């Protein structure tokens, strides 16, 4: 079936409640129509109501959803509601047939998921190689079993109240069901404080107290009228093992080629393309994808401002690997116009400006293809962030007695902001657990206190990071940072924006680096093969040296830079000022302090662009989901390509 779609499921205490709620489920399903405009359907059985929006890729004629399957003695026992792709489904189907005599009625991957659950139980989820969020209703046992993929590629929200428990791919659908569930739509002030520090809302939180997220790598069970029980099934371990460099490089190249091959799976009539920046990650996926699709199309976004575009490098790459190249340039005016609609699609605010050009290039790509490959996850798995060098640069501080380090920290507070070395001293005085909470470092405590009226000093980032640090005791510091990023930055920012802005355009995003087999190889890489030769992702670069074009191999990481620093001083200044002035967030934020930040930024004394962007995105979110004063014109899904 391979359907990256939008699911919605409601489990009520009684059959009469479920029957009465079916119309509400149909209405709530429309909020996520963009996730699966190929097909929409609802289904009900006893206490369960399913809703589904399908974007199909495999077995388009038969693998409809919700999908019912069962063994010969009970052919309608299970019903599946499934969002995602299982890339090893053919191998899994073959194994289930050989071991258990499993029978299948379609050519899709959905039946493999249900059959695996029937024959292997809850541990079946550990056998799934792919991206997914699903629910399986067992009509015999009267229980729903579900799970979310190991890395959190596909989203899954849930809400529980007197009217039942509901799960959905989009938070908006659960807001529509809040009356049915009997759940209040209250803003979560703790989550807001975390958002302003981290620039995303960390799992399992959302900005509404009555809606949470099923965490990545977690399965769950819930019976009608019962409580949801969660079980973490994925426990990633970064554990270096002895291996010769040449053997390691071969392993990396082999597992990446295998992963890309599996991520290219689709019906013959469905074209898969690739996003392409100027970096090694997207170049690797595009180059390998070209081996399996000679007609591959690559897509790049950029800005007409020097230092903020990788279009030229991407164009050189596209020519070198022989693929058609489509470019979408984005202006400040387009960003300002599109941002409210993008925030609506996001469900919760994400203050990463890179998601805006990503939205535009996804929109462009959907005119040509139905799915794209991208390079998300490579930095977390292979050690690609520049900040991973920090344990090396701060190593001299580790030799200083604790009392002296604390004194250095106090001295750093006396140094005026903007003076070179201030932040080095501040961070050098702190332990890894106290200083590192992921790649996003937005508001510090003293800055947050100035703008957030509801600031609570007892709420800190360590609430989010402490459990993951506890699991990595004894690992090298870079591995510990990677581990934290897997559970914070990756699933909170990178994957949220990747899923939301592509699915907003009915475009599927596939991420070959975030594959459990790739992770198993990457997690074994020694520290000296992550950071060496003055570069990051050293082993990955060596492994790809004979695969990707030379001009990309050792290029400095740029990512998707967005010129908001410049635009907020010029083209976007009045726009930002109007958002702040019009926002009804006075009960949460000190708008005078925020306007002062904006004026300070315009004057050029300090760069406040990332902090301002976080505040602006939240204010737009508040206007849409709390005030209801901003009403983006949400378009109907459009099919530029007949597939």
How far is the C-alpha of 423 from the C-alpha of 411, rounded, in Å? Answer: 11
Residue 593: both structure tokens together: 């302090």
Same domain? 380 vs 398:
no
- Interhelix angle for 477-487 vs 462-471, to 10°? 130
Mean pLDDT of 205-224: 98
What distances in angstroms separate CA 384 from CA 131, 159, 280, 503, 510, one per listed residue? 22, 36, 10, 26, 20
For residue 214, the 8-state DSSP code is P
Identify the active-site residue in 5, 183, 369, 562. Answer: 5
Query: How much is the pLDDT for 622?
Result: 98
| pLDDT at 445 exceeding the cut of 70 | yes
Asked if residue 250 belongs to a known ligand binding site, the reply is no
* Buried/exposed code over 499-532 (b: 16+ C-beta within 10 A; e: otherwise): bbbbbbbbbbbbbbbbbbbbbebbbbbbbebbbb
pLDDT-based confidence at residue 642 (cuts at 50, 70, 90)? very low
User: φ, ψ for residue 233 (rounded to 5)?
Assistant: -105, -15
Contact 292, 271 (CB under 8 A): no
Q: Of residues 421 and 518, which shows the higher confidence score?
A: 518
- Number of C-beta neighbours around residue 307 at 10 A: 9
Q: Domain total for the chain?
A: 4
| pLDDT at 60 exceeding the cut of 60 | no
Same domain? 89 vs 216:
yes
The CATH number given to whatever domain includes residue 346 is: 3.40.50.620
Q: Which residue in 305, 3, 31 sits closest to 166, CA to CA?
A: 31
Helix, strand, or coil (residue 228): coil
pLDDT tens, position by position, 572-625: 999 999 999 999 999 999 999 999 999 999 999 889 999 999 999 999 999 999
| pLDDT at 298 exceeding the cut of 80 | yes
Provide the CB-side half-sphere exposure for 566 (13 A, CA): 11
Residue 190: both structure tokens together: 């703790």
pLDDT tens, position by position, 455-494: 999 999 999 999 999 999 999 999 999 999 999 999 999 9
Query: How much is the pLDDT for 331?
Result: 94
Share of the chain above pLDDT 70, in %: 95
How far is the C-alpha of 206 from the C-alpha of 185, rounded, in Å? Answer: 11
Query: How much is the pLDDT for 643?
Result: 42
Q: Beta partners for 268?
A: none
Rounded to a whole number, what is the distance in angstroms from the first to the last CA of the chain?
15
Helices vs strands, H then E, count in the chain = 29, 17
| pLDDT at 56 exceeding the cut of 70 | no
pLDDT tens, position by position, 233-274: 999 999 998 899 999 999 999 999 999 999 998 766 667 899
Counting beta carbons within 10 angstroms of the beta carbon of residue 232, is it exposed (0 to 12), middle (13 to 18) or buried (19 or more)?
exposed
Q: Does residue 635 fall inside a structural domain?
A: no
Query: How much is the pLDDT for 268?
Result: 60
Query: How much is the pLDDT for 61?
Result: 54
Q: Of residues 60 and 269, which shows the higher confidence score?
A: 269
Query: How much is the pLDDT for 4?
Result: 58
Which of residues 186, 209, 232 is at a domain's end? 232
12 is catalytic: no
Provide the CB-side half-sphere exposure for 485 (13 A, CA): 25
Which of residues 208, 232, 256 is at a domain's end? 232
Q: Which residue in 71, 187, 82 sits closest to 139, CA to CA?
A: 71
Signed CA dihedral, 329, 496, 612, 624: sign only: positive
Same domain? 99 vs 120:
yes
Lowest mean pLDDT among 93-97, 206-210, 304-308, 490-494: 304-308
Same domain? 32 vs 153:
yes
Query: How much is the pLDDT for 427?
Result: 85
Q: Which residue in 187, 205, 157, 214 sits closest to 618, CA to CA?
A: 187
| pLDDT at 559 exceeding the cut of 80 | no
pLDDT tens, position by position, 371-418: 999 999 999 999 999 999 999 888 888 888 878 888 887 877 878 877
Share the mean pLDDT of the chain. 92
Q: Does residue 634 fall inside a structural domain?
A: no
Q: What is the CA radius of gyration of the chain?
A: 24
Which of residues 534, 553, 572 is at a domain's end? 553
How far is the C-alpha of 196 from the C-alpha of 191, rounded, in Å? Answer: 9
Q: Beta partners for 40?
A: 53
Q: Does residue 254 fall inside a structural domain?
A: yes
Q: Does residue 84 fall inside a structural domain?
A: yes
Mean pLDDT of 269-291: 91
Helix (H) or strand (E) holding 135: strand 130-138
Q: Does residue 1 fall inside a structural domain?
A: no
What distances in angstroms separate CA 301 from CA 275, 277, 315, 397, 484, one per listed residue? 9, 8, 11, 41, 29
Same domain? 323 vs 336:
yes
Helix, strand, or coil (residue 635): coil
Residue 641: both structure tokens together: 């390509």
Same domain? 203 vs 111:
yes
Asked if residue 178 belongs to a known ligand binding site, the reply is no
For residue 187, the 8-state DSSP code is B
Q: Of residues 41 and 332, which shows the higher confidence score?
A: 332
Q: Does residue 630 fall inside a structural domain?
A: no
Same domain? 323 vs 369:
yes
Same domain? 590 vs 608:
yes
Region of residue 560 (phi > 0: left; psi between -120 and 50: alpha; otherwise: beta): beta
How far is the C-alpha of 346 from the C-alpha of 618, rounded, in Å? Answer: 11
Domain range enclosing 583: 564-625
Same domain? 225 vs 316:
no
Mean pLDDT of 359-365: 96
Same domain? 307 vs 335:
yes
What distances in angstroms separate CA 452 from CA 455, 539, 548, one per listed residue? 5, 43, 47
Query: How much is the pLDDT for 439?
Result: 81
Query: How much is the pLDDT for 59?
Result: 45
Query: How much is the pLDDT for 626?
Result: 97
| pLDDT at 641 exceeding the cut of 60 | no
Q: Does residue 240 fall inside a structural domain?
A: no
| pLDDT at 44 exceeding the cut of 80 | yes
Same domain? 216 vs 332:
no
Strands 218-222 and 48-54: unpaired
Mean pLDDT of 53-57: 64
Residue 389: both structure tokens together: 């060098």
Residue 323: both structure tokens together: 């693929």
Query: How much is the pLDDT for 1?
Result: 43
Signed CA dihedral, 512, 517, 520, 521: sign only: negative
For residue 134, the 8-state DSSP code is E
Share of the chain above pLDDT 90, in %: 80
Asked if residue 607 belongs to a known ligand binding site, the reply is no
Same domain? 209 vs 149:
yes
Q: Does residue 48 fall inside a structural domain?
A: yes
Helix, strand, or coil (residue 3): strand
């Amino acid at each position: 079936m391979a359907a990256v779609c939008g699911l919605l499921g409601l489990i009520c205490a009684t059959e009469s409640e479920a029957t009465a709620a079916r119309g509400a489920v149909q209405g709530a399903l429309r909020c996520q129509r963009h996730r699966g405009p190929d097909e929409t359907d609802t289904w009900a059985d006893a206490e369960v109501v399913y809703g589904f929006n399908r974007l199909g890729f495999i077995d388009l004629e038969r693998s409809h959803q919700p999908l019912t399957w069962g063994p010969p003695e009970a052919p309608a026992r299970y019903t599946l509601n499934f969002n995602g792709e299982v890339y090893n489904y053919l191998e899994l189907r073959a194994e289930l047939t050989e071991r258990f005599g499993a029978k299948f009625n379609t050519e899709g991957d959905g039946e493999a998921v249900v059959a695996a659950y029937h024959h292997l139980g809850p541990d079946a989820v550990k056998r799934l190689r792919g991206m997914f969020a699903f629910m399986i209703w067992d009509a015999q046992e009267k229980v729903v079993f579900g799970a979310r993929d190991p890395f959190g590629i596909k989203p899954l929200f849930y809400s529980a109240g007197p009217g039942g428990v509901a799960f959905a791919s989009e938070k908006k659908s659960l807001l529509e069901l809040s009356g049915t569930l009997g759940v209040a739509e209250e803003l979560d002030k703790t989550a807001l404080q975390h958002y302003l520090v981290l620039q995303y809302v960390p799992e399992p939180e959302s900005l509404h107290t009555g809606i949470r997220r099923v965490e990545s790598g977690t399965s769950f069970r819930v019976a009608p009228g019962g409580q949801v029980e969660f079980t973490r099934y994925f426990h990633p371990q970064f554990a270096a093992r002895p291996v010769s460099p040449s053997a390691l490089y071969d392993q990396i190249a082999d597992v990446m080629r295998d992963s890309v091959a599996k991520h290219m799976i689709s019906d013959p009539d469905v074209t898969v393309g690739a996003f392409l920046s100027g970096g090694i990650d997207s170049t690797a996926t595009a180059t390998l994808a070209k081996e399996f699709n000679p007609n591959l199309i690559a897509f790049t976004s950029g800005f007409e401002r020097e230092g903020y575009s990788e279009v030229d490098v991407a164009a050189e790459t596209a020519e070198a690997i022989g693929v058609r190249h489509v470019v979408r340039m984005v202006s400040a005016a387009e960003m300002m116009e599109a941002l409210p609609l993008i925030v609506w699609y996001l469900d919760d605010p994400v203050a990463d400006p890179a998601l805006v050009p990503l939205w535009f290039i996804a929109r462009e790509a959907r005119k040509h293809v139905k799915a794209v490959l991208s390079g998300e996850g490579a930095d977390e798995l292979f050690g690609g962030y520049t900040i991973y060098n920090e344990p090396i640069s701060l190593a001299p501080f580790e030799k200083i007695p604790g009392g002296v380090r604390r004194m250095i920290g106090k001295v750093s507070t006396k140094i005026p902001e903007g003076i070179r070395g201030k932040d080095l001293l501040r961070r050098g005085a702190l332990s890894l657990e106290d200083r590192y909470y992921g790649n996003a470092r937005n508001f510090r405590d003293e800055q947050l206190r100035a703008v957030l009226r509801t600031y609570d000093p007892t709420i800190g980032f360590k609430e989010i990071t402490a459990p993951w640090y506890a699991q990595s005791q004894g690992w090298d510091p870079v591995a510990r940072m990677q581990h934290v990023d897997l559970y914070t930055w990756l699933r909170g920012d990178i994957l949220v924006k990747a899923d939301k802005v592509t699915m907003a355009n009915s475009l599927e995003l596939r991420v070959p680096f975030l594959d459990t087999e790739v992770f198993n190889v990457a997690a074994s890489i020694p520290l000296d093969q992550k950071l060496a030769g003055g570069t990051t992702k050293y082993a990955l670069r060596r492994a790809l040296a004979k695969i990707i074009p030379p001009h990309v191999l050792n290029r400095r990481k740029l990512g998707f830079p967005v010129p908001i620093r410049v635009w907020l001083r010029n083209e976007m200044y009045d726009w930002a000022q109007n958002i702040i002035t019009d926002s009804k967030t006075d009960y949460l934020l000190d708008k005078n302090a925020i306007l002062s930040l904006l004026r300070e930024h315009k004057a050029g004394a300090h760069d406040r662009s990332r902090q301002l962007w976080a505040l602006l995105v939240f204010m737009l979110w508040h206007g849409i989901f709390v005030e209801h004063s901003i009403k983006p014109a949400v378009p109907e899904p459009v099919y530029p390509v007949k597939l």
